[in-house]
């Protein structure tokens, strides 16, 4: 018997290194994905696939970030999506947002109440605005490229992100600390992801905050980020812990 066991392990070495099954969603749990400024649902495709594999019903929302203000994006695109029968009847509705998507969600929640609101993960959110918008948001080319919503993302006290206040609900933030845009980074004090300062990704009531060596445009596609998102939606904490700095 011992000989047969030895042969089996030699032929099937994976028996020695079995990994636990990934956590799966509860029945009736949905996730709404909100992409960032100047992006489309394609940017959230990898996230959508991973969350679907984890058992969630995923809604990858498309909305015209360059054409409307944050209020209009929230009321004319997010609100109708959440009014759909399958979402109204969901056990829980979780959210995963990238960049501007986090501001659109905060705008919606400032005016609406979701009885089945679940957990929220914000990726690279300009929660306190971006100093880049402070510096060049008034440029014509910036307005042409980023539209009215982009110009609302400054870091002044009267900017929209700072007027919205705390989220007031169970949420977590994943910030990036690497930049491929050194011009933008020159406008941002301290560590940043090329768009947003790490310090500006926090909200007053953020208690779960993870910093990873990822740049802003790739936060929603990074495998480590996605793994932590799935873990948080399932368990309420990150697989990597609650870290201010993290090595690759």
3-state per-residue secondary structure call for 128-191: CCCHHHHHHCCCHHHHHHHHHHHCCCCCCCCCHHHHHCCCCCCEEEEEECCCCCHHHHCCCCCC
> What's the pLDDT score for residue 99?
98
Q: Residue 241 corresponds to which tokens in the numbers above? A: 């812990």
- Buried/exposed 75-100: b ≥16 CB within 10 Å, e otherwise: bebbeeebeeeebeebebbbbbbbbb
pLDDT block averages, 10 residues each, the chain of length 248: 46 42 70 97 97 97 96 98 92 97 98 95 97 94 94 95 92 97 94 96 95 97 97 93 55
Interatomic CA distance for residues 137 and 105, integer angstroms? 22
**CATH number for the domain harbouring residue 146:** 3.40.50.1820
Q: Is residue 119 part of a domain?
A: yes
Q: Is residue 72 part of a domain?
A: yes
Instruction: Supply the range of the domain harboring residue 179.
Output: 27-235
**Residues with Cβ within 8 Å of residue 122, at least 6 apart in sequence:** 97, 102, 105, 171, 172, 173, 174, 201
The DSSP letter of residue 1 is: -
pTM recorded for the entire structure = 0.87
Interatomic CA distance for residues 194 and 179, integer angstroms? 4
Helix (H/G/I), strand (E/B), else coil: 93? strand
In this structure, the number of other CB atoms found within 10 A of the CB of residue 2 comes to 6
Structural domains in the chain (count): 1
Interatomic CA distance for residues 238 and 53, integer angstroms? 18
Q: Is residue 6 part of a domain?
A: no
Q: Is residue 15 part of a domain?
A: no
Q: Is residue 20 part of a domain?
A: no
Q: Is residue 245 part of a domain?
A: no
Q: Residue 203 corresponds to which tokens in the numbers above? A: 């909200």
- Phi-psi group of 236: left, alpha or beta (phi > 0 → left; psi -120 to 50 → alpha; rest → beta): left
Interatomic CA distance for residues 190 and 86, integer angstroms? 43
- Phi-psi group of 16: left, alpha or beta (phi > 0 → left; psi -120 to 50 → alpha; rest → beta): alpha
Q: Is residue 9 part of a domain?
A: no
CA trace torsion 131, 134, 138, 141 (10° rounding)? -10
Q: Is residue 156 part of a domain?
A: yes
């Amino acid at each position: 018997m011992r000989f047969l066991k030895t042969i089996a392990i030699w032929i099937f070495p994976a028996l020695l290194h079995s990994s636990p099954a990934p956590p799966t969603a509860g029945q009736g749990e949905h996730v709404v994905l909100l992409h960032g400024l100047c992006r489309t649902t394609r940017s959230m495709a990898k996230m959508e696939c991973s969350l679907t594999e984890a058992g969630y019903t995923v809604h990858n929302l498309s909305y015209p970030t360059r054409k409307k203000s944050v209020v209009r994006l929230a009321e004319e695109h997010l609100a109708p999506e959440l009014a759909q029968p399958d979402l109204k009847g969901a056990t829980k509705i979780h959210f995963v947002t990238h960049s501007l998507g986090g501001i659109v969600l905060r705008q919606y929640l400032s005016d609406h109440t979701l009885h089945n609101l679940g957990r929220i993960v914000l990726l690279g959110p300009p929660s306190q605005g971006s100093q880049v918008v402070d510096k060049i948001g008034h440029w014509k080319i910036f307005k042409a490229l980023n539209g009215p919503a982009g110009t609302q993302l400054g870091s002044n006290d009267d900017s929209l992100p700072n007027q919205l206040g705390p989220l007031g609900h169970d949420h977590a933030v994943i910030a990036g600390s690497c930049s491929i845009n050194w011009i933008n980074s020159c406008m941002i004090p301290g560590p940043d992801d090329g768009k947003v300062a790490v310090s500006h990704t926090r909200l007053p009531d953020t208690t779960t905050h993870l910093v990873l060596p990822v740049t802003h445009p790739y936060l929603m596609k990074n495998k480590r980020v996605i793994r932590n998102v799935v873990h948080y939606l399932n368990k309420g904490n990150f697989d990597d812990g609650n870290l201010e700095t993290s090595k690759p």
